[in-house]
Chains A and B, each alone.
Chain A
Amino acid sequence: MLRCMQFVELVTALEERAVGPRLRLELQVHRVVCRHCRRYLRQMRAVSGALQEAASGDSPRLRSAAT
C-alpha cells in the first residue's frame, strides 16, 4: 500500500503522467488525505517553477530586489 515514503519517490512520475491508472489513483487519494505529501508536491512544483521564472528574461526576483 502506498506510503509517504513511496509518494515522494513517485511525485515526478505522477507529474509526468507516467504512472498507470491504478497507481495514479492511489497517488491522488494519498494526496487528498496527506497534507505533508501535498506540501512536498507543492514545494517540488515551486522549485521547478521558480527555475522557469528566474530564467524568463524579466525576472521577478530582480524587480523585487529593486524595491
Chain B
Amino acid sequence: MRSNPRSRRISPEDSPDLVPRLLAGDETLFASLVQRWQAGLVRVAQAITGNVATAEEVVQETWASVLRSLRTFEGRSSFRTWVHRVCAHQALARSRQEQRAPVPDEPVVDPDRFDEQGHWREPPLRWPEETPEALAARREVMECIERAVSMLTLRQRVILTLRDVQGFSAEDACEILGVSAVHQRVLLHRARSRVRSECERFYREAA
C-alpha cells in the first residue's frame, strides 16, 4: 500500500513524454491540459490585466503561443510553470498595448449579440435537435431550412446546394460556379450562417 494516495494517479502533466506527445500532435492530451490549467491561467492573467474578459483572451493567446514554441521548452522548469510564465508574459504585453483585431464587415451574426470585447452577450440558443439526423427528422425544421435556402442570394444558394446537398468538393464547386476558392468559401459561409440563424429563429419562436 502506498503511503501517499495522490501518487496513485498519474496526471497527464506529470507524464515524462508530455512535450514529445504534444509535438506529435496529441490533441487529447492538449485538451486535457487546457481543461486542467485554464482556470488557474485565467486567474493569473486577470491579476495582471485586471479584467476577466481580457484575461480569457490572454489565456487563449497563451495556448497558441505554447504550441508554437513547444520546441523551445528546455525543461529547466516544469512544463506547467513554463506555460504559466508564457501566460504572464502575454498578459504583461497586453496590459501595455490594448489593441483590437479588425472585425470583417457585414458580420454573419448580429453584432449586438456580442459585448464590447467581442464575446457572446446573447449566445446561440440551445436547440432540442443539434445533429444532422435529428434536424432532418423534424419536418417543421426542414421546412424552415428550405425557406431559408430560398431566401439566399443566387450564388449562395448554388454553392450551398453544390456543397451540402450534392456533396461536391470545394474545388468542384469552384469549377462549377466559376468562382475563386476564397469566394466559394465566403458564399458557403454566408449561406450556412444564414440558414443556421433562421433555424435559431424557428426554435426561438417555437419555445
A window 9-28: CB within 8 A of B: 9, 11-13, 16, 18, 22, 25-26, 28
**Pair A50/B132 contact, Cβ less than 8 Å:** yes
Main secondary structure of the interface of B (DSSP, over half): helix
Contacts of A59 in B (CB 8 A): 136
Contacts of B172 in A (CB 8 A): none
Contacts of B200 in A (CB 8 A): 43
Contacts of B139 in A (CB 8 A): 61, 64-65
Contacts of B195 in A (CB 8 A): 47, 51
* Chain A: minimal CB distance from B140 (Å): 10
* Chain A: minimal CB distance from B72 (Å): 16
**Pair A9/B124 contact, Cβ less than 8 Å:** no
**Pair B124/A36 contact, Cβ less than 8 Å:** yes
Indicate with 1 or 0, residue by residue over B153-171, a CB within 8 angstroms of chain A CB atoms.
Answer: 0000000100111110010
**Pair A32/B34 contact, Cβ less than 8 Å:** yes
Nearest A residue to B194, CB-CB: A47
**8 additional contacts (CB under 8 A) given A5-B119, A39-B123, A64-B139:** A1-B94, A2-B101, A8-B193, A9-B103, A32-B34, A43-B200, A47-B135, A54-B165
25 A-B pairs with CB atoms under 8 Å apart are A3-B117, A3-B118, A4-B114, A4-B118, A5-B118, A8-B107, A9-B103, A12-B193, A25-B67, A25-B68, A26-B60, A26-B64, A29-B63, A36-B120, A39-B123, A40-B124, A44-B196, A45-B132, A46-B127, A47-B196, A51-B160, A54-B136, A61-B137, A61-B142, A65-B139
Residues of B within 8 A of A (CB): 27, 31, 34-35, 38, 56-61, 63-64, 67-68, 94, 101, 103-104, 107-109, 111, 114, 117-120, 123-124, 126-127, 129-139, 141-142, 145, 149, 160, 163-167, 170, 181, 185, 188-189, 192-193, 195-196, 199-200
